[in-house]
Amino acid sequence: MGVRLLSLGNSGLNNHFPDSLTRHPDGGEALTISHLRILERIMYQIKQEDRLKEIPLPCDYFELICGSGIGGIIALLLARHRMSVKDATNEFLKLKPEKTIGEDQFSTSKFEKTLQHIFNTEEMEDTSPDRCNVFVCAMRKVNMNAGSPQLFRSYGTRLEPVSDCMIWEAARATSATPGLFKSMAIGLSGLKQEYVGGDLCCKNPTLLILEEANLLFPGRPATVILSLGSGHARTIGLSKKQGLDKVTKAIATDSQRTHQEVQSRLHGIPCTYIRLNVQQGIQDLVPHDWDQLGTVCAQTDNYLRGKETEANLKVLVKAICNPQVTAVQSGTTAVHLKVCPAPNIRFTGRHEILKSLGEYFDKDPGKRHIALLHGLGGAGKSQIAFKFVAECADMQRFCEIYFIDSTSHQTIETDLATIAQVRKVGATAEDCLLWLAARRTNYLLVYNNADDVSLNLGQYFPGGSGGNILITSRNPKLCNHADFEHKVGQMELKDAIDLLLMTARYDITIFNNREIAREIVQVLHSQS
């Protein structure tokens, strides 16, 4: 069975605290409620998918959970204490600081006592047979290098033993944000080391959980990776306090950069990777204003109702509930993706069309592009598409290219279903479209020979605003779907002469050959 991973990180800096960079820790304790809100929806949908009587525990559906900052505390509640999302939310709310006149709102001693009350004196190590593995991130105070986090684990690996500390100590260390809380000392008397918050070194610990999964589950690939952020806050200008400048610059871009690196690392691997991060409505909230919890929850609910998020969740839940990693079979025959045919070895010309296609797909990165090549049968539409795909593969213009025989509803649905099966995201055309809708990669779908005028091709386009589509068809009415269209007609005279001579295997550089070929092409043109 494949491994399912849950990463609870934090997003970029918020712009409300003035002056001190140390007052922008992690997207904010209050904002982290969005983690729990999103997980609550996911676990409910898992209940529906698996037809359970009660909402299940996250620890029963993820083999490894990690977190940094306050996200690390949530990870410990869900995994080490095997809590439901509802119970974890109740414990999370206990972290709300009490406002006392004359006292620091962020009292380290009060925060520490709260953690001790929540986690008692339990050790970090978990030896129970039904355990859910968990780690949280911190950073040694003497070596504040964003690339060298310290992991507090509930398990041992072949390289390192289990962390020798109590759960509350690991929780304090991962949340010890400079400027908010004092550093945390852990270890034997005389050998203690000081740790500061994990949000300074890994706001998005998804790459770390991939590395840990390889150590903890050798031979078992990750089939589901869920990464949660706590808002898409805006990057602030750096203050004049230079001590943390370099660290904070890394923090500001860490989450998105990590997300992009994970996408790149997983390219071509049959794995469901979903990052959910509320992007609107909370970027201007003060991170530590607990009075804004209602606003954060409301904006998270709006995010969950978005079409793209709904598509993400549907793909995610199906993958979580079906994590088997086996060769995709149909009866006794393995299912393989249909490869786009290579262009004819004598393909020549059409330079302007190919150039125009390239320029069109290259503009406005991240936006969906739909191009149509239409014209009479035999005009060369498919060959142009094949040539374009071949050039794109050489240039690595697209990260994934899928070829779909579009001669009928049946052929389209068969090819889409095959994609879903090979990518292990389902078994139907609908599963494929939902999976593609949830992806933000620069893929290309080639719908070839969509000539049937009764064919409703638009119903086979993925939802969302990303991805690219190239259509070849005799039906010019498909222009209604496209932002770019080109009517493929007769070849230019020079190109036609070249093609004729190449096909007849005559030297295209000899003048007499070209003149004879010119006469033949002109005769053929006059009779067409």
| pLDDT at position 137 | 92
Q: Which residues fall within 8 angstroms of residue 285, CB to CB, at 6 or more apart?
A: 14, 16, 28, 30, 31, 231, 292, 295, 296
CATH of the domain at 278: 3.40.1090.10
Residue at which a domain ends, from 283, 302, 321? 321
| pLDDT at position 528 | 52
More confident residue, 266 or 457: 457
Burial grade of 506 (CB within 10 A; 0-12, 13-18, 19 or more): middle
Q: Report the C-alpha dihedral over residues 447, 450, 455, 456, rounded to 10 degrees.
A: 40
Averaged pLDDT, 438-450: 89
Cβ–Cβ < 8 Å for 255, 278: no
Tell me: do 399 and 300 sit in the same domain: no
| pLDDT at position 291 | 65
Tell me: do 41 and 118 sit in the same domain: yes
More confident residue, 285 or 223: 223
Residue percentage of the chain with pLDDT more than 70: 77
pLDDT for 110-132, tens place per residue? 889 999 999 998 999 998 888 89
d(CA 337, CA 321): 24
| pLDDT at position 396 | 75
More confident residue, 11 or 301: 301
Tell me: do 304 and 374 sit in the same domain: no
**Single-letter amino acid code for the residue at 159:** L
How many domains, in total, are found in the chain?
3
Tell me: do 360 and 289 sit in the same domain: no
Assigned token pair, 39: 């997980």
Tell me: do 312 and 422 sit in the same domain: no
d(CA 17, CA 19): 7
Tell me: do 418 and 449 sit in the same domain: yes
Question: What is the residue range of 137's domain?
Answer: 3-321
d(CA 519, CA 139): 78
pTM of the model: 0.59
| pLDDT at position 527 | 53
Any domain includes 332: no
- pLDDT at 354 > cutoff 50: yes
pLDDT for 493-520, tens place per residue? 777 677 677 666 677 778 777 787 787 7
Any domain includes 316: yes
Tell me: do 82 and 32 sit in the same domain: yes
Tell me: do 166 and 308 sit in the same domain: yes
d(CA 55, CA 42): 10
Any domain includes 336: no
d(CA 245, CA 119): 34
Q: Which residues fall within 8 angstroms of residue 30, CB to CB, at 6 or more apart?
A: 285, 287, 288, 289, 290, 292, 293, 296
pLDDT for 382-427, tens place per residue? 889 998 988 887 677 888 889 999 989 988 999 999 899 888 888 8
Residue at which a domain ends, from 321, 337, 372? 321
Averaged pLDDT, 433-439: 89
Sign of CA pseudo-dihedral 385, 386, 387, 392: positive
Any domain includes 407: yes
Q: Are strands 272-276 and 64-68 parallel, antiparallel or unpaired?
A: unpaired
Cβ–Cβ < 8 Å for 108, 181: yes
Residue at which a domain ends, from 273, 304, 321? 321
Residue 334: enclosing H or E segment and its boundaries?
strand 333-334
| pLDDT at position 146 | 46
CATH of the domain at 410: 3.40.50.300
Any domain includes 340: no
- pLDDT at 18 > cutoff 70: no
d(CA 387, CA 385): 5
Tell me: do 507 and 472 sit in the same domain: no
Any domain includes 329: no
Averaged pLDDT, 157-180: 88
Provide the 8-state DSSP code for 492.
Answer: P
- pLDDT at 215 > cutoff 50: yes
43-52, 201-210, 213-222 — which one is most confidently predicted on average? 43-52
Cβ–Cβ < 8 Å for 11, 232: yes
pLDDT level of residue 214 (50, 70, 90 thresholds): confident
Tell me: do 299 and 431 sit in the same domain: no
Tell me: do 65 and 193 sit in the same domain: yes
Tell me: do 473 and 497 sit in the same domain: no
- pLDDT at 250 > cutoff 80: no
Assigned token pair, 205: 């610990």
Beta bridge partners of 472: 373
Any domain includes 395: yes
pLDDT level of residue 288 (50, 70, 90 thresholds): low
